[in-house]
Amino acid sequence: MLVVVGLIGFIGWYVWHNKNNTNKVSNTTGNSTTQTPSTKSYTDTSKTFTFNYPSNWTIKKYVHEPCCEGEPKPEPDWTKVPQPITLIPKDAPKNIEVTITGGNTGAKSIDKAWLERTIDKFNTYDRFQVNSYDALDQTTDFVGSSNVEAYIDHRDLIVHGKNSVEIYFRQKYRHDWNKENNFDATKYMPVFNAVVNSVKFLN
C-alpha cells in the first residue's frame, strides 16, 4: 500500500515539475523575444567608427549639396572622411530622424566643446563616457519669447583622439502657426540612446 501511495505521489510531483519548467521556458523565450529587438551594425565610409541601429530603421541615401556662399564646394572623398548619416524609423512621420556626423581630423574635442557651450536657461550639459570614450551631452529645451515655437533637441559628442562622432535627435517640435510640422518623437528616445551607447572607434 505504501508503495502505491508513494508511486502516485511521485507521478504527481513529476507532472507538476515538468509543467512548471515548461512554463518558465515559455516565459523566458517570450520575454527575450520582446525585449531584444534585432539590430544592424554600420561602419562609416572612412572606417573611422561603427554603431548599431534597429533593423527596422533605414539609412537615408546621402545627397551632396554644395554650400554655401561663393564657389560650390566639391564633394569630399568619403573614403577619407566620414560621410554624414541619417537614420529614419520605419513608417515615422516626417522630420523624425537621427543624424550622425563623424570627423577624423582632430577638429573637435570635449574640452573645446565644453568651453564653447551656450550658457542660458535653455541648454543643459552633461559630461560622461561611452565605451571608455569622453562624451558630452547637450539638451536644448527651447521655448520662444512669444511661446509660439518650442522644441527639445539632443546632441551628443563622442571623441577619441582625432576621431569624433556627433549624434543629433529632435525629440519634440511645436509651432502654433505651422501645426502640420508638429511632432512628438519621445518614444524613439531609447533608440537615440542605444545608438549613442553603441559607438565604437576603429582606430
Residue 17: its pLDDT value, please? 41
**Cβ atoms of 180 and 114 closer than 8 Å:** no
pLDDT tens per residue, range 21-69: 433 333 333 443 445 569 999 999 999 999 999 999 999 999 998 877 7
| 173 plus 104 within the same structural domain | yes
The answer to whether the pTM exceeds 0.75 is yes
* Domain count within the chain: 2
| 181 plus 95 within the same structural domain | yes
Domain span at 16? 1-36
Amino acid at 122: F
Q: Which of 24, 23, 86, 34 is nearest to 58 (CA)?
A: 86
Counted residue by residue, the chain has a size of 203
pLDDT tens per residue, range 127-167: 999 999 999 999 999 999 899 999 999 999 999 999 999 99
Q: Cell 508503495 sits at which residue? A: 3
| 54 plus 122 within the same structural domain | yes
Residue 14: its pLDDT value, please? 42
pLDDT of 191 over the 60 cut: yes
**Cβ atoms of 87 and 58 closer than 8 Å:** yes
Amino acid at 173: Y
| 106 plus 48 within the same structural domain | yes
C-alpha cell at 37: 529587438
**Cβ atoms of 200 and 165 closer than 8 Å:** no
| 16 plus 74 within the same structural domain | no
